[in-house]
Structure formats: C-alpha cells, structure tokens
Amino acid sequence: MNLPIASLARPEPASETTAPGGRIRHFYKAYGLIVSSEVALPELEPAAPATPDLEIAVGPVGFPDSASPGATAFRFEPTRQYLSWQAVGAFMISGASRIEVDPAPGIDDPLLAFPLLGPVMALALHQRGLLVLHASAIAVGRKSVIFMGDKGAGKSTMAGAMIRAGHRLLTDDVVALDLSDPERPMILPGFPQLKLAADAAGAIRLDQVEVRPQVHPQIDKTQHRLRDGFAAGAVPVSRIYVLERGDRAAISPLIGAAALPAIIKFSYVTRFGRQALPGDSASVHLRQCAQVAGRVGVSRLEVPAGLGRIDEAVAAIENDLASGTR
C-alpha cells in the first residue's frame, strides 16, 4: 500500500452509466480489457461504455470462512476466489470475469482501490490464463524490461529512473504476460501509475505527474499518476531482471535451471501458497513459468546503493538491450 503528497491535476473522468441500484458504473481499460466498475478507479484509463471483459460490482460477499478480527483471510475454489481484509472489505472473483466488492463500514473507493488493483486484480488476471508477476515493467522502444525482486528491492524506483531517462511505463506492481504465442510472450499494459517511496520520489522527481492525495496514514508510498511516459500497447518481453544491491551496476544471466525458480518465486499467485493453485492449475502455472524462463531467461541486476547512482543501472540496462544478445 502507498501514500500521496500533493495533487497537480485531476485525471479525466471515465465514461459512466448508471448500474441497477443507482450506483454509477465507470468504464476503463487496463491489461487489454474493458473494465466496468461500480468502484471509482481514476488510476485507470477511461474508456467508452461497452460490453465489459471484467465487471466490478459492489454488494455482499458471503465469505465461506469468517476471518478473525484484524486478520486477512483467503479461500480458493475452482471457480471462485475469496479475499478478505478486515479493515478494508471482502472481495470475490468469480468466473474470471466478475469481482464482487463488499466494503467494510466507512471505507470509501480510494482505499478499496489498493487491494482491488493489486492482489485482487492479479488473481483475476491469473484466472483469465495470464502469467502474472509481482514486478514492474518498462517499454524501451520496441523492447521491454521487467524488474522482479523482494519487497524493498526497488522495483518501482528502478522503473521511475527508467521513465526519467525517457522510457515508458508498461505496468507497476502487477505484470500480466500473455503467452498465447509461445515464441513471443507479451506484456499487457496496465495503467499509468507508479508507486514510489518518499525518498525515491524526491530523488527521481518525475515531470508530468499527479501525486494523489493520501488515503491512509499507514500507506508508505506515493501514487504518481503519469501524464506522459505510459506505453498503451502490448510489448514483447525482452529482459527479466532480479534486483539486488551491489557495489556497482552489473548484469549477469542466471545460469542453467536457476531462471525457473526465480519466475516461480515472483509469480503473483505463489504469494497465496499451494491453495491458490487447485487441481491441474499448478501444472499449468509451472508450464507457463518454464515457458518464460526458457524463452526469455532471467538476469541478476546489481543496483549500486544510494539513489544518486541509480542512473548507472539505467545505463547498464540500455547497454544490455542494445547488445542484442540472448
């Protein structure tokens, strides 16, 4: 979750219709989908009203197992997935095309958006057959880079430095890969928002952004909605990096079978454990991870400590892409 500072401009409103029950239905586009939502999601790009690929509706969610006070709870079934955060609300994904949202008392749309556009959206995309990584992705011309790493590794910070260098954001936090062409894995563009810690935001200082208002005191990053620097079309995967701290900027491919465990580790669904992969979905997920590991590979990207040296890592990435190897 993340925190904001000051607003520069308001995003354009999404197209709207009225849903049964009187709630406003907003229309957006994200991850190659038309999304209709009864939750306002100004983080997303607006779209004209159309038959949606994914519907987000507000209503009661009958969670199968009650959550203990203050806890989170998850339940995964073959056709439905339930997620509950006691302080925010409950969510149910059904049929890969509908998300039910049951807000906790007093919770408004901006706070609902944090889990909705993070783990809930990631699982909905997974249900649609996409390989979803907990990562950030940048378009560099007709090529792309994906940044994976543990919490605090600097995935979004590295993405911000790439944007400052003139490259374009594909997606932050949730990277959805379309593997329908086995020879050409594609990154689907998410939405033009980057979440940055306060020190990273101060050091990188992106232009043409709106920094959204804070929605919760415990949210520790700023939401930067890009006015420029967003890639609206799908881009083939060129490089996948695992971020690590180092004395100097350096890139080294993971050798042999080491790439596959890295893809599995940072795939979004594995955050929820084996329960999130019922039936034969575990073998399908493994094949997807192996397909990307074999086709693209994974490299270790050492990033020098200190935000003042992050451009050294940017230069190493640009050189790696320009080399045309792998």
Q: Stretch 8-13: mean pLDDT, rounded?
A: 41
Helices in the chain by DSSP H: which ranges? Answer: 109-115, 121-127, 155-164, 198-204, 259-265, 281-295, 310-323
Q: Stretch 82-89: mean pLDDT, rounded?
A: 92
Tokens representing residue 22 in the block: 């009187």
In this predicted structure, what is the pLDDT of residue 62? 83
Segment 99-154, tens digit of pLDDT: 999 999 999 999 999 999 999 999 999 999 999 999 999 999 999 999 999 998 99
Residue ranges per structural domain of the chain: 15-127, 131-323
Cα(228)–Cα(109) distance, integer angstroms = 25
Which residue type is seen at 68?
Answer: S
pLDDT band at 68 (very low <50, low <70, confident <90, very high): low
**Per-residue pLDDT at 13 exceeds 60:** no
What is 131-323's CATH topology?
Rossmann fold (3.40.50)
Give the sign of the dihedral formed by CA 264, CA 265, CA 270, CA 274: positive
In this predicted structure, what is the pLDDT of residue 5? 28
Residue 148's closest CA among 253, 298, 320? 298
Question: Which residues, in sequence order, are CB contacts of 77 under 8 Å at separation 6+?
Answer: 278
pTM of the model: 0.91
Give the number of other Cβ atoms within 10 Å of residue 98's Cβ. Answer: 16
Which has more confidence, 44 or 68?
A: 44
pLDDT band at 229 (very low <50, low <70, confident <90, very high): very high
Residue 301's closest CA among 159, 203, 183, 179? 159
In this predicted structure, what is the pLDDT of residue 14? 45
Portion of the chain with pLDDT greater than 70, in percent: 91
Give the number of other Cβ atoms within 10 Å of residue 150's Cβ. Answer: 13
**Per-residue pLDDT at 11 exceeds 60:** no
Cα(77)–Cα(278) distance, integer angstroms = 7
Query: Which of the given ranges, 20-29, 77-86, 216-225, 282-291, has the highest pLDDT on average?
Result: 282-291
In this predicted structure, what is the pLDDT of residue 65? 57
Q: Stretch 201-209: mean pLDDT, rounded?
A: 89
Torsion-angle region of residue 20: left (phi > 0), alpha (psi -120 to 50) or beta?
beta
